Amino acid sequence: MHVVEVRRGGVDFVAAMAQMRTWFDNQGIQPSLFEIAFLPGRESRFRLQFKEVRNAVTFASSFDGEVLDTGLDAAAA
């Protein structure tokens, strides 16, 4: 699995979720996992898991996110 982290500070949480939902629908891509954390200072952190690295990279570049190295692929080998 490939994890993408996107952080948003001081933005409307509902608007951010709607923008991501629209993007998923338009791209025909669905994450395997969608996790939200509310951080101090009105910051939201979204972590999404994708089965395919190309989907993770595409999402990260579209939302100014970062593809994280989880180390899971190396452990499974």
Q: In whole angstroms, what is the distance from residue 1 CA to residue 48 CA?
A: 10
Give the residues across from 9 on adjacent strands. 43
**pLDDT score of 56:** 96
What confidence category does residue 5 fall into, taking pLDDT thresholds of 50, 70 and 90?
Answer: very high
Write down the pTM of the prediction: 0.83
pLDDT tens digits, residue range 55-75?
999 999 999 999 997 655 544
Mean pLDDT, the chain, as a whole number? Answer: 88
For a pLDDT cut of 70, what percent of the chain falls above it? 90
Q: Which domains does the chain have, with CATH numbers?
A: 2-76 (3.30.70.260)
**pLDDT attached to residue 13:** 81
Tokens of 64: 């100014």
Q: Which residues contact 47 (CB under 8 A, 6 or more apart)?
A: 3, 4, 5, 6, 33, 34, 35, 36, 37, 68
